[in-house]
Amino acid sequence: MPAIEETGGDLSSLSNDVLLIYFPYLDSTGFVERVTKRFKGLEVRWIKSNASPLVPPRAEDLDAKDWDGVTLLATFMPPPAEFLSKVRYVQLTTAGIDRWPVHSTYQDEKVTFATSNGVHATQIAEWVIGAWLMHQHAFLNYAANMKTGTWQSPFTAKVQDSTGMRIGILGYGAIGRQCARLAKTLSMEVYAYTRSERATSESRKDDSYCIPGTGDPDGLLPTKWFHGSAKGDVDSFLAQDLDLLVISLPLTSETRHILSHEQFEILSKKKTFVANIARGGHINQDALIKALETDQIRGAALDVTDPEPLPSDHPLWKAPNLIITPHISWKTDALYGRLLDLLELNLERLASGQQPINVVNRQLHY
Q: What is the pLDDT of residues 275-326, one digit of tens each?
A: 999 999 999 999 999 999 999 999 999 999 999 999 999 999 999 999 999 9
Strands 189-194 and 224-227 come out as parallel
Quick one: pLDDT at residue 56? 87
pLDDT bucket at 8, cuts 50 / 70 / 90: very low
Provide the angle, in degrees to the nearest 10, between the axes of the packed helices 174-185 and 121-136.
Answer: 40
The tens digit of pLDDT for each residue in 125-179 reads 999 999 999 999 999 999 999 999 999 998 888 899 999 999 999 999 999 999 9
Average pLDDT, the chain: 94
* Distance (Å, whole) CA 353 – CA 348: 9
Average pLDDT for 27-39: 94
pLDDT at 259: 98
If we measure between CA atoms, which residue out of 105, 17, 13, 104 comes closest to residue 69? 17
Which is the CATH superfamily of the domain at 121-324? NAD(P)-binding Rossmann-like Domain (3.40.50.720)
pLDDT in tens, 224-256: 999 999 999 999 999 999 999 999 999 999 999
Is 70 exceeded by the pLDDT of residue 7?
A: no
What pLDDT score does 359 carry?
Answer: 97
CATH of domain 18-119+332-351: 3.40.50.720
Whether 263 and 238 have beta carbons less than 8 Å apart is answered as: yes
21, β-bridge pairs: 46, 74
Domains 18-119+332-351 and 121-324 share a fold: yes
Domain boundaries, the chain: 18-119+332-351, 121-324
